Homo-oligomer: A and B are copies of this chain.
């Protein structure tokens, strides 16, 4: 009923991915056509102080440490990780290795919160007071009933990490995963139940966005975590009066600094950042700024070579779920009208495939646009429009044009990931000190994608910004500060009532 799963074998066989290409139907059959009442009622049963907090049911912190250890162990079993990898591939177009990456990160995240580590998240601090008997203590407190909405591109990693974070801190979440891919999380819920997750702790809903919006407006969760498009994010922020944490899109940039080294390596990272998962990562490299020293290297031709070895068979390139081929071709056309711009490679539809026309199917594409043109008001919005597919802009800058590059970055709207490819500390600090992207890689091996569970991932520069996965992210997103000031006394001997004030 309320989204929690019936006892059934969690590891039934699934068909291999080839079938997917024939009938890419999504998971609409998973949609439950019941009234929202039970969900609203279930959420409303959770008080504002949550299912647990440092003064209520602390044994539940241990329960979640156990669940995490067990679930991590399950995901470490080749049979199980392979099952989830294939299941992810079945609904989300990515290579085996990319899909496996999700499973692996999820496993490691769960390992991180084994044993006592969930209660360590609830660590508080205390400071002596003004007089004997007084002490102030700052706790992390849950919000109680909360909601989580996650997108199609990471069907396992994003929902598990946010869901568990919410639960660890004592909240009761309702979880909605994009219904095209929610079968993955549906299976994972069964695994979590198997590992001890109390079914009543989480409500799992399959619905379209409109229904979910309606539910949110009625159930009024104390906090809603949304990962997805900027458009929906902004709407939710207004609808929920700011009671949200958001991780939305990014037009992520990479800057190559003056020191040219390891061209092969940098080219390979550029190819992966721009085109893995067919560019459908919110961290995907959308624009590349090359120092002129790189322009004379073989970098671009190497990136081109790497892009061209991508193929549909192993899903190193594949369907684009939110932008049609036509839209991408149209965007390309507009960009090429900018003076000095040129197609570096790609720019054509994929061939020999059965991807439905509601999705996109495009070869990995790079378009060069001159820096001066990018900065022109007439072009800026066009060039920095995020295309959630295998599509990037490449430009270059001269030694004395770094300020122009920084100006281009400052004018962007979302600030998620970024990369500064240089081992020159002074160049690095100059760029880092004048930008704000929340997850910024720096150094010769810098990338924009591939954030794991061990460091913060999230946008910066926005008080609504969410993070994912690390202890800091969990505490920020899923708990708030509560201060208890103990003041036991004794009242000083001989105390007398002072004058009113």
Give residues in A with beta carbon < 8 Å to B: 47-49, 53-59, 61-62, 65, 69, 72-73, 76, 95, 97-98, 108-112, 114-117, 119-120, 122-138, 141, 143-144, 222-223, 234, 237-238, 240-245, 262, 264-265, 268, 271-272, 275-276, 306, 309-310, 314, 316, 410, 415, 423-426, 429-430, 432-447, 452-458, 460-465, 467, 471-473, 476, 480-491, 495, 497-501
Contacts and interface: CB of A to CB of B under 8 A. Distances in A.
Nearest to A113: B115
Contacts of A487: 441-447
B434 A58 contact: no
29 contacts: A56-B434, A57-B132, A58-B132, A59-B131, A69-B73, A69-B76, A110-B115, A111-B114, A116-B453, A119-B128, A124-B127, A127-B455, A136-B455, A138-B456, A143-B461, A143-B462, A143-B463, A234-B241, A275-B500, A310-B500, A316-B501, A425-B443, A438-B483, A439-B485, A444-B489, A445-B487, A447-B487, A460-B482, A465-B481
A435 B56 CA distance: 10
Given A136-B454, A438-B482, A446-B487, 19 more contacts: A48-B436, A48-B461, A49-B434, A49-B436, A56-B433, A72-B114, A73-B73, A95-B501, A111-B114, A114-B115, A222-B463, A234-B241, A241-B464, A242-B464, A244-B463, A245-B463, A306-B497, A316-B499, A476-B481
A268 B496 CA distance: 10
Contacts of A116: 108, 111-112, 127, 453-454
Contacts of A112: 114-117
A145 to B, nearest CB: 11
A237 B467 CA distance: 21
A461 B141 contact: yes
A276 B133 CA distance: 24
| Copies of chain A in the complex | 4
B454 A480 contact: no
Q: Which of A62, A429, A446, A500 has the most CB of B within 10 A?
A: A500
A133 B443 contact: yes
A20 to B, nearest CB: 18
A245 to B, nearest CB: 6
Contacts of A262: 489, 491
A461 to B, nearest CB: 5
Nearest to A55: B433
Contacts of A456: 136, 138, 481, 483
Given A62-B130, A480-B462, A115 B111 contact: yes
Given A133-B425, A472-B138, A69 B111 contact: yes
